[in-house]
Amino acid sequence: MQAALRAATVTFLGFLGGCSLAPTYTTPSSPPPADAYAEAGDWRKAEPVEDRARGAWWAMYQDPVLDALEVKVGNANQNIKAAFARLQEARAATRIARADLLPNLNVGSSASRERVSQNSPAYVPGRNPTYNNFDIEADLSYELDLWGRVRNSVNTAKANQQASAADLAALDLEQHAELASDYYTLRGEDAELVLLQNTVEDYSRSLALTENLYRGGAAAVADVYQARAQLEGARTQAADVALQRAQTEHAIAVLIGESPSRFHLASNPLPQDSVPPQIDAGLPSTLLERRPDVAAAERRVAAANAQIGVARAAYFPVFSLAAATGFDSTQTSTWFNAPSRLWSAGPAGLLTVFDAGRHRAQSAQAHAQFDEQVADYRTTVLTAYQEVEDSLAALHRLEQESLSEEAAVTASGQALEQARYRYKAGLVTYLEVATAETIALQAQLSRVNILNRYMNASVLLVKALGGGWRIDALGQSGERSWSFGD
């Protein structure tokens, strides 16, 4: 009979030990992906898998200078270091939560001299009220996790740890993409500077020609003023681009963890025939597995779901087991003798009967936080699709723009050449030349700007696709924090 009772008790406690009050977790629903990206159109596509961005995705641009800078980002970027420290904090929080799954053992010792008040009920007449007390005691306590409070706390910490790992991966991707974008912006500014410096030289020759014609009586003084104004305007533009280049260079220095005052990149103009590498966007259905920010948002939903179980467990009593053993004596000579031994053991239970609605409010708070995280997750998913579509649209349209702008540069150059011939022949005023030069310069600057945006759109597409990250990089425990590639 007693054996059957013990077996039933063990079975019942085992059942309760597996109980959890957290809702069964499922990944929140999100808008279903399309069969293909709407903006992909007939844009150039790479061969599947082989050319898809993986790991050090910037290597596809085949630029040794960019490769060297990207390596420095991972090693010295302070934002990434801060994110890694936050991941370490999350890992420590998980270990703290796991510690509650095991018993807690404390050992304490004290030695004191005490005096009991003779008016105290604890005073024994005839006994010396002053005495020594030597005590050493070990206390063992263990909470029976009948309602899953501790296990759900551990699940919350683990999910938050995985979210921190995904945050680190997302920040790492963002910083590398920002560096690539700044790098191509810098090269575009170098191309603009070369163009403007050449323009300043051309305008200087035009001014000299106009001054010679004026001295010979073949041109009006207004032509000289107009040629000088145009020259100074080009110099102003060149100075402004030089300022932008300096600021871009400083931004790159911060990204790689170097002092802006000591960092310098040699001029390296972006060639006019530059074309971004081919990138396969893949299928929309795989995007959610390739975006670390989506993974982070989903893990925060899981953490909020587990936190609901913690809040629900507060309604139920907390059962624990406690035990103590040690030695207590009034004299050091008998401190560790057998009669000085003490021990205690037994269960304990605690149930909050009245808390003025605190538990109800905590449960409502947990449910509201869950709803918030679900909404954030769905927003992150929609944003992910949007960013891919935006980048594909940019690549498609900018490719078309580059072709039409190249034709505009050719036409404006021919018009300028004819205007200069006509001016030298005395058939037109300098106004026609100045107008043609302005149109030609703007067309060339626009071509450089389009090329810069074209390269940046390519970088943004890689970033929007997750840069080669995979959701399995989180692993079961989240210990693989920011592994890129396969």
- Per-position DSSP letters for 175-227, written without gaps between them: HHHHHHHHHHHHHHHHHHHHHHHHHHHHHHHHHHHHHHHHHTTSS-HHHHHHH
Rounded Cα distance, 39 and 307, in Å: 40
For 256-357, where are the alpha helices, taking DSSP H only?
Answer: 292-313
Provide the residue type at 244 as one letter: Q
- What DSSP character marks residue 18? T
Rounded Cα distance, 166 and 298, in Å: 10
Provide the residue type at 9 as one letter: T
Is residue 119 packed enough to be buried (19+ CB in 10 Å), middle (13-18) or exposed (0-12)?
Answer: exposed
Instruction: Copy the structure tokens of residue 283.
Output: 């299928």
Main-chain phi, psi angles of 266, to 5 degrees: -65, 150
| Mean pLDDT score of the chain | 85
Q: What is the pLDDT of residues 352-389, one digit of tens each?
A: 888 898 989 999 999 999 999 999 999 999 999 999 99
Phi-psi domain of 426 (left: phi exceeds 0; alpha: psi -120 through 50; beta: other): left
Of the candidates 176, 171, 169, 175, which has an alpha carbon nearest to the alpha carbon of residue 478?
169
Residue corresponding to tokens 């309760």: 16
Per-residue confidence (pLDDT) for residue 5, from 0 to 100: 45
Instruction: Copy the structure tokens of residue 137.
Output: 């005691």
Stretches where the chain sits below pLDDT 70 are: 1-18, 35, 39-54, 469-486
Per-residue confidence (pLDDT) for residue 474, from 0 to 100: 64
Per-residue confidence (pLDDT) for residue 6, from 0 to 100: 53
Per-residue confidence (pLDDT) for residue 455, from 0 to 100: 93
Per-residue confidence (pLDDT) for residue 338, from 0 to 100: 86
End-to-end CA distance of the chain: 60
Beta bridge partners of 114: 131
**Which of 3.90.480.20, 3.40.640.10, 2.20.200.10, 3.40.50.970 is the CATH number of 103-144+317-350?**
2.20.200.10
Find out whether 280 and 51 touch, Cβ atoms under 8 Å. yes
Rounded Cα distance, 269 and 184, in Å: 9
346: three-class secondary structure by DSSP: strand
Q: Cα torsion at 224, 228, 231, 236 (round to 10°)?
A: -160
Per-residue confidence (pLDDT) for residue 323, from 0 to 100: 93
Per-residue confidence (pLDDT) for residue 195, from 0 to 100: 93
- What DSSP character marks residue 480? S
Segments making up each domain of the chain, as ranges:
19-101+147-315+357-474, 103-144+317-350
Per-residue confidence (pLDDT) for residue 38, from 0 to 100: 73
Of the candidates 135, 119, 39, 186, which has an alpha carbon nearest to the alpha carbon of residue 340?
135
Rounded Cα distance, 340 and 55, in Å: 67
Of the candidates 294, 310, 317, which has an alpha carbon nearest to the alpha carbon of residue 365?
310
According to CATH, the topology of domain 19-101+147-315+357-474 is Outer membrane efflux proteins (OEP) (1.20.1600)
Rounded Cα distance, 8 and 49, in Å: 57
Is residue 144 packed enough to be buried (19+ CB in 10 Å), middle (13-18) or exposed (0-12)?
Answer: middle
Per-residue confidence (pLDDT) for residue 394, from 0 to 100: 92
pTM for the full model? 0.82
